[in-house]
Amino acid sequence: MNLQDLQIVAPELIVLIMACSLLMLDLFLSPQRRGILHLVSILTMALAAIITLRGHPALEATGTVMAFADTVIRDGMGDLLKVFAYLIMIFVFVYSRHYLKQFNMYRGEFYSLAMFALLGAMVLISAANLITVYLGLELMALSLYAMVALKRDDRRATEAAMKYFILGSMASGFLLYGMSMVYGATGSLQISEISLAAAQQGSDSMILVFGLIFMVVAMAFKFGLVPFHMWVPDLYEGAPAPVVLFISSMPKLAAFAMAIRLLQDGLSSLHHDWQGMLIVVAVLSIVLGNLAALAQQNIKRMLAYSTISHMGFVMFGLLSGTAAGFGASMFYVITYALMSAGAFGVVIFMSGKGIEAEKLSDYKGLNQRNPWFAAMFAALMLSMAGIPVFVGFFAKWLVIQAVVDAGLIWLALLAVVFSVIGGYYYLRVIKIMYFDKAKDEAPIQAPSDFRAVLSVNALLMVVLGIFSAPLIAACMAVF
């Protein structure tokens, strides 16, 4: 370890130091002064973003720079994903504060665990070695398990935490076993060296192919893809809304980075093998996710199945195996994380008096109670549905174009059909807000920072749709 290594991982060090500092600071703060934790967390995200955006001299010259005996890589893809992770974390902190205060959960543990989960995601995004991949994944996962169980007296939250922990542990076991087989076949844990060895052996090495299968299964668990999706609806329904907001957004960026590091950077020579596996899970996810969402009366479960469907679309760009496809998937996962954060922000906005607004009927007549936020929620739903002008349309367009360019026309047609089917349950929410009579016509209010951030979040769906070219170009440029 030297000074240059520390400079390369400066964003991770800042998050680590501040996460530990929050643990200590919480011991000395009275409940009335816990707003300091909230402020420190947001300032940490801003500082980490500044350090990340400043880059590194070697990064500007070569495009990539390695640290800690080549176990950590810093490149354009990692920096872009981290910047959006910081932005989403700011959304999470602002939205969550409103909920935590109302539901008597305003404690330092939420902020500390969120920061440690972010740190794990950052390590995973910058992983250049299988050990680093596993360390980042487990740090993020263990923090998320604890966050789901934060509402200790809630039976559903405890049940969701247990399911998430057990199935998450299984996925980690699959990943570790797959990594051990890849190591046995290639003799290295370094992703760049694995790539060279895999190119020489190809599909002739059965151990390498079996290792690939186990790793793809583990990644499918982490993405929540069918048939490894069983934890997603129960977790979304049972966990507190701020935790679901967090899990549905930021970790998806880390999961995408893990897929790129393992499949493209490490095992690109086996593209034909993992392409077939991704096609299967993508098709199943889009079909089941959209059809199951149609039957839901609980908005958190509806958004859970929506997530499964969207992650299937993310797979489209990955399975194409092209730089344009990877860029399209990256654009999709970034925009989806922003959409999901905003959607659960509205769920938190509607929750109160110790009761979460889980049922679709809770959103009846929202336009009568708060026209502005009804419009914001409508923008988020239309973007998720992939309606033109909104950014969700361009995200779907790019990944469908990637599979068309890969010669998979039938897959593109299936995606279009189920995009139309999926539009129904998003439009149903808009219909409920605007055309159904409210049970309670009392106006709904929220703190000024909450209103401002949720407005920015929702308006981004329009702004990024109209001016999508810069972000698309940034995503394409890193591959």
User: pLDDT tens digits for 142-163?
Assistant: 999 999 988 878 888 888 899 9
- Provide DSSP, 143-190: HHHHHHT-STT-HHHHHHHHHHHHHHHHHHHHHHHHHHHHHHHHS--B
- Give the C-alpha separation, 278 to 447, whole Å: 43
- Give the C-alpha separation, 375 to 2, whole Å: 52
- Written as six digits, the tokens of 235 are 């977790």
The answer to whether residue 26 scores a pLDDT higher than 70 is yes
Residue 260: give the domain boundaries: 3-477
Neighbouring C-alpha atoms within 13 Å toward the C-beta of 444: 29
Cα 354 versus chain centre, distance:
27
Indicate the pLDDT class of residue 218, thresholds 50, 70 and 90.
very high
Give the lowest-confidence range in 23-32, 156-165, 234-243.
23-32
**Mean pLDDT within 358-380:** 89
Residues with Cβ within 8 Å of residue 15, at least 6 apart in sequence: 44, 48, 115, 118, 119, 122
- Written as six digits, the tokens of 412 are 């593109």
Name the residue with tokens 């935590």. Answer: 100
- Give the C-alpha separation, 122 to 289, whole Å: 28
Residue range 178-215, pLDDT digits in tens: 999 999 999 899 999 999 999 888 777 889 999 999 99
Residue bearing the bigger pLDDT, 55 or 312: 312
Residues with Cβ within 8 Å of residue 473, at least 6 apart in sequence: none
CA-based nearest residue to 142, from 123, 176, 122, 168: 168
pLDDT attached to residue 1: 66
CA distances from 190 to 64, 67, 254 (A): 15, 13, 19
Indicate the pLDDT class of residue 354, thresholds 50, 70 and 90.
low
**Mean pLDDT within 105-113:** 88
Longest dimension (CA), the chain: 68
Residue bearing the bigger pLDDT, 301 or 354: 301
**Mean pLDDT within 390-395:** 94
Residue range 131-147, pLDDT digits in tens: 999 999 999 999 999 99
Q: With the CA atoms of 198, 212, 173 and 290 taken in that order, what torsion angle do they form, in degrees rounded to the nearest 10?
A: 150
Give the lowest-confidence range in 110-124, 278-292, 301-315, 354-368.
354-368
CA-based nearest residue to 374, from 307, 435, 298: 435
Residue range 41-77, pLDDT digits in tens: 999 999 999 999 887 776 766 778 888 888 999 988 9
- Give the C-alpha separation, 367 to 381, whole Å: 14
Neighbour-count burial of 409, counting CB atoms closer than 10 A to its CB (0-12 exposed, 13-18 middle, 19+ buried) = exposed
Strand partners, 74: 65
pLDDT attached to residue 35: 85
- Give the C-alpha separation, 405 to 412, whole Å: 10
Domain total of the chain: 1
Name the residue with tokens 């400066």. Answer: 10
